Amino acid sequence: MSEGPSPRVVHVRWPETPLVCGDVRLRELTFDDAGAVAAAYGDPEILRWTARRTVPHTREEIVAWIGRRLSDAASGLSLYFAVVDPVDDRLLGGASLGTTNTQDAATMGYWVVAHERGRGVATTALRLLCRHAEDLGFARAVLWIRDGNVISDAVARRTGFVPYGFDHKVALVTGEDATPVERYERVLTSAR
């Protein structure tokens, strides 16, 4: 009896051509970004809306955290991008693209430095993540957004994501502050 097709596992890798659109570029996060990331992570809004246990605080923690992100990239598990200004390489934010247990779905995340918000940086970064995920062969993109994060909800919807309800398991994983987390998805065809 046939066991059916084997599951397709998509590994992530850095883009071959620069991921850039208008005044937003995504490039590999490096140790040189540690100072700017430390400054950005001092913002309580980032702590409020992201999984708090994953947010490093001291410069040492941030350097170790960047090291783990680079080794995850080397093993094809996830990519952590610095969102930068294409002209002066100033850090505007961070964006991630990772594999999931669901073979054809990529998971994504993003944040923007407080004084760079409100001019479309996150929306453009998320579009670029979707474009790269499609190039890598993913069929779907998944986001998890904490209940009440109306700005991230606006970014997700504008980029074609649809809310699918609250994910009990994710709420438990981030249980230290127990905010329900909603799952958003978009199909990756013509992400451009």
Position 66 contacts ligand COA (CB under 6 A): no
- For residue 17, the one-letter residue type is T
Return the closest-CA partner of residue 18 out of 116, 84, 70: 84
Position 13 contacts ligand COA (CB under 6 A): no
Looking at the Cβ atoms of 38 and 151, the one nearer to ligand COA is 151
Position 50 contacts ligand COA (CB under 6 A): yes
DSSP string, 67-132: HHHHHHHHTTSEEEEEEE-TTT--EEEEEEEEE-SSTTEEEEEEEE-GGG-SSSHHHHHHHHHHHH
Q: In what order do the strands lie in the sheet with 24-28?
A: 19-21, 24-28, 78-84, 91-99, 105-112, 140-146, 181-187, 162-166
Position 139 contacts ligand COA (CB under 6 A): no
Looking at the Cβ atoms of 46 and 73, the one nearer to ligand COA is 46
**Segment contacting ligand COA (CB under 6 A): 9-17, 51-59, 71-79, 111-119?**
111-119
Position 63 contacts ligand COA (CB under 6 A): no
What residues from 155 to 174 belong to the interface with ligand COA (CB under 6 A)? 155
Residues that bind ligand COA (CB under 6 A): 45-46, 49-50, 110-112, 117-123, 145, 149-152, 154-155
